[in-house]
Structure 1
Amino acid sequence: STWKLFIVPLSPLPLTSTPASRQLGIGILLMFIAAVTTVGNLLVLGALAWSREVLQGVTFSFIGSLAFADLIMGALVMPAGAAYILGGSWRLGELMCLLWNSVDVLSTTASIDTLCVIAMDRYVAITDPLRYQMHLTPKRARFLIAFVWFIAAMISFFPILMGWWRSDDPAACYADPDCCEYVSGKLYTAISSVIVFYMPLSIMVFVYSRVLKEAERQVSVLNSSQCLPSCCRSLPERRALKTLSLVMGVFIACWLPFFICYAIQIFCMTCVPGPLFLFLIWLSDTNSTFNPFLYSRSPEFMSAYKRILCCNSDEKHHGVGAPPRGRG
């Protein structure tokens, strides 16, 4: 996708001048990424609906919101972005350009901010499990999800459709119907990037560092306990540590390079080559591709996936662990 184009001036990179085989290969790769993103997040949403009696609770509500945001990215934003990049021009008109970029910013902001909410949810659940059950109710979880999407809408549709993001840069192609490039002013750039990335990143780093520290403490206590056999100590905790490490590692690897280059281009527009910046745009988008695989590694999700892929309708409304109905 190319929503990041509205942050810094960057011309689309048409690939029509490249060899046909290479252009075809790039197109297949981009569409493959979009397809994997779409299918992966559809599986998450399907598992939540299929086995709702097992995959329930506020954490699964947050994962559902995350999957929906990432599904929008894979199903709507990525294919249009791939077509724009490969064709070198925008063929759908100015209004669709505005809507496409608005949806792009919406899904990206909702995805990242939901990751932040999930981090805080895990922090409270691990560090204060008793209060977690009392304070983080399903009603409050729904409020948090609605708040995340409200913030995402306020940072995407309103500024873009109202034209508040526009700058006076003569390089902007606002009047060109074949161009869907966005060049924004520095103030809007700074505000949007803080809300979209830097604030969630700071919260996630702080929260997950505390979670990892607490989880390591619990692992140490369990390992020293004489109540459990040595073969059964700390297995779930170590799996949780591995999952948290993967979540943070993938998030930072996907998003931080782009925002570093973004910060550089505020002061030096020609310091980052266009092809490199375009690669970093798609690298950041692949966070939506990885999310369903990172947040649904539990046995409950795996069982739900098997039943969906095998079309086992007997357990659709009865949860993963429910006994099957008789055939009469």
Structure 2
Amino acid sequence: MREHKIAAIPADGIGPEVIAAGLQALDTLQQRCGDFTLDIRHFDWGSDYYKSTGRMMPEDGIAQLKSFDAIFFGAVGAPDVPDDITLWGLRLPICQGFDQYANVRPTRILPGISSPLAGVGPGDLDWVIVRENSEGEYSGNGGRAHRGLPEEVGTEVAIFTRAGVTRIMRYAFQLAQSRPRKFLTVVTKSNAQRHGMVMWDEIAAEVALEFPDVRWDKMLVDAMTVRMTLKPQSLDTIVATNLHADILSDLAGALAGSLGVAPTANIDPERRFPSMFEPIHGSAFDITGKGIANPVATLWTAVQMLEHLGESEAAARLMRAVEAVTAAGVLTPDVGGTATTQQVTDAVCKEIRGANI
């Protein structure tokens, strides 16, 4: 019996609701498969923890997480706590502390869910966005000076290193190589950002030589938004900087029907540290407690976690169950349905237990 240690951090907003849904499905799945177990430990870190302690997580939080095989993360952010505190106090320290440099965001139009793009359905939009997750525009370099004075200045320094760019390019090319179309689009802005982004382009061309079987092209980030919207079939695997991919992946989720169906994996490809898996949608305080949060993003995120843990059969079973439920029209309001979070979760669990899945 294979055992995997999972740290569950529901955190803020709808995070506890969707993580509960994900854990229910995972529990059903391990009972159905019978060849692995998940040892789940819950952590109450987040904005409520901050309000009572002045920290988003304990000072030794990273050390506490280090022994786990994976981290199952909900969402971070609260209306009464500054966003920079919530993000830099919890999520980013985990990503950077464990060098989870590959942020992987698959996007597909699931059966039964409509895209806002006219004439685009399942099969027409099938992407994986690889986001550089350790440096770039979110490296944390910069500062503020002369606060409150007319000459106050704030600098935000984007950091691009040869090591950092090379490893994310190699990861993206390898991922593209593993997919049927073997096609990668490199997103850039080297016409205006003439130092780091020019190096980004040069390293992409260098790494491409290692993968002669992978076709690739290059797009400026602004033109990329047009291509994603008007020619979704022309894209497959995409790699972009921390900032650019953050923005483009939200657009991708919307084009697939809702951010409520968009998953994320923060991966340490070398497996030195635990990787972290989270839905893309954020804390969504406007619907917190209403019981209508879409659990699909979290369930799909659980699929990514299972794949990372080597449980490919269980991952495929869970994904088939999710697609069967969406195809049957059991959908939350964000994708045009009337079902609750619990109803979708129960339907997925019923599919997992069924003989056909």
Instruction: Give the TM-score category using the shorter length.
Output: under 0.3
Scaled by the length of structure 1, the TM-score of the pair is: 0.24
Q: Between Structure 1 and Structure 2, which shows a larger proportion of helix residues?
A: 1
Q: Return the TM-score normalized by structure 2.
A: 0.23
Larger radius of gyration: 1
